[in-house]
Amino acid sequence: MEGVRFGELPYLEETVIAWACSYSPQEKVLAVGLDGGGLALYDTSTWKKIRSLSGHSGALRCLGFSLDGQRLVSGSDDKTVRVWDCSSGDLLATMRGLEDYVAMVTFSPCGKYVASGSEDSVVRMWDSMTGEALFVLEDHTDAVNSVKFTPDGHWLAACGDDGTIRFWDVKTGAPRNVWELGHGHVLCMAFSPDGQQVVTGHLDGNLRFWDTVSRLPGPVLRGHTDLAMSISFSADGQRIASAGYDSTIRLWDASACTPISMYSTSRPPGHYSGVMSVAYLPTGESILSGSLDKTPIFVHEFSPDLQQTAYGCKEMIRLQNFRTGVVNLVLEGHTKMVQRLSHSPCGQWIASADEDRSIRLWDLHNG
């Protein structure tokens, strides 16, 4: 994993709370869901807004791209799910009939289906092209916290406050398996890319591995001191990132089931409240994090030894110990906001680029 960057994304052209964001699989577009129901698309190469989509009438809570990046699904407080064409901005389908606000949405791997979950404990599956409701799944007995399709696309899974993971057949909607985990509320979950494991997050802050074939419990990852709110696998399945209400982001070795690094986001310039979401970008070289504190979404990229982060702070670059948060080095010279950083594989050099496209190369041994 080459390079490291920890930094704030450039400020976007929005004046209201951003409730949700999602990168396209190709990382070319960032979608942002806004408080009034607005939906903005940004070009990630320039950070300029390329499209504003209107249709929702309530806060836009959740977003998800199709695997090919051509379509975007959104869920809102207005109790609708909508599918959009990313190129034209056209509204392709509107899903109605929900009884509570939409807490989560996701495309199936094949792109034919969209699933949604709500606080009313109901999971729904829709035809992504027509908006037709295919299945209304009312098996959960408490709020649904996460909805995922398995990587092979054969099953729809959901976890919730009733302490279960439930699986349904995508083609028939028939319930297939119910996992009674026995550890209270299941706040989040993530499937490994090969579909062989699922990792769940819980009230006690622990992450738990489960074998998807045998259903047997695996290792427990302990580190978070408060709720485990979000989990994400890297694309190669070798690493896991987790976010906690304890204001930390933690990295884990998925094979050895051991901690790699921990970053306390309560130290500037990070989040100063619980971290609610974390997601690996498709390349696997960086992660996004979002918090209740309304600070911008942060991008974190890691040094070759996973011990250090670098981030742009206006015209300066700061090198920070990933574990302690201590700033070890400040690099000054740019006259515009620093927007891009990358370490050399050996860790000795860092390249930086700013708003006016000025590029500088720094020797980290002497600054």
Residue 138 · residue 121 · CB < 8 Å: yes
What is the rounded average pLDDT of the residues 238-245? 90
| pLDDT score, position 194 | 95
> Which tens digit of pLDDT belongs to each residue from 74-96?
999 999 999 999 999 999 999 99
- Strands 39-43, 81-85: pairing kind: unpaired
Q: Is the pLDDT of residue 204 over 50?
A: yes
What is the rounded average pLDDT of the residues 261-270? 60
CA angle 49, 52, 58 (to 5 degrees): 130
Neighbours of 361 (CB within 10 A): 9
Cβ within 8 Å of residue 347, ≥6 positions away: 303, 304, 305, 308, 364
What is the rounded average pLDDT of the residues 130-146? 93
What is the rounded CA–CA span in Å between residue 118 and residue 123? 7
- Before 269, cis peptide (omega within 30)? yes
Size of the chain in residues: 367
Mean pLDDT of the chain: 82
* Of the candidate ranges 133-137, 187-191, 281-285, the one whose mean pLDDT is the lowest: 281-285
| pLDDT score, position 43 | 87
What is the rounded average pLDDT of the residues 163-192? 93
Question: Mean pLDDT: which of 210-219, 239-248, 308-317, 340-349 is highest?
Answer: 210-219
Say what percent of the chain tops pLDDT 90.
44
What is the rounded CA–CA span in Å between residue 65 and residue 80? 17
| pLDDT score, position 276 | 67
What is the rounded CA–CA span in Å between residue 203 and residue 201? 7
Helix (H) or strand (E) holding 275: strand 275-280
Question: Of 11 and 324, which is predicted with more confidence?
Answer: 324
Quickly state the pLDDT bin for 56 (edges 50, 70, 90): very high
Neighbours of 45 (CB within 10 A): 9
Residue 258 · residue 212 · CB < 8 Å: no
* Of the candidate ranges 42-46, 214-218, 243-247, 349-353, the one whose mean pLDDT is the lowest: 349-353
Sheet holding 155-160, edge to edge: 144-149, 155-160, 164-169, 175-180
- Label residue 261 left, alpha or beta by phi (over 0 means left) and psi (-120 to 50 means alpha): beta
Three-state DSSP at 73 gives: strand
Exposed (0-12), middle (13-18) or buried (19+): which is 133, by Cβ within 10 Å?
middle
Q: Is the pLDDT of residue 44 over 70?
A: yes
Give 3-state DSSP helix, strand, coil % of the chain, rounded to 5.
0, 50, 50
Quickly state the pLDDT bin for 285 (edges 50, 70, 90): low
Q: Take residue 330 and report the two structure tokens written for it.
A: 């400040």
The full set of domain ranges for the chain reads 6-306, 307-367
Quickly state the pLDDT bin for 7 (edges 50, 70, 90): very low
What is the rounded CA–CA span in Å between residue 367 and residue 364? 5
Quickly state the pLDDT bin for 8 (edges 50, 70, 90): very low
Question: Of 358 and 203, which is predicted with more confidence?
Answer: 203
What is the rounded CA–CA span in Å between residue 367 and residue 358? 18
Sheet holding 91-95, edge to edge: 60-65, 71-76, 81-85, 91-95
Cβ within 8 Å of residue 324, ≥6 positions away: none
Q: Is the pLDDT of residue 321 over 80?
A: no
| pLDDT score, position 2 | 34
CA angle 203, 62, 160 (to 5 degrees): 30
What is the rounded average pLDDT of the residues 264-272? 53
CATH dotted code for 6-306: 2.130.10.10
Quickly state the pLDDT bin for 97 (edges 50, 70, 90): confident
- Strands 39-43, 29-34: pairing kind: antiparallel
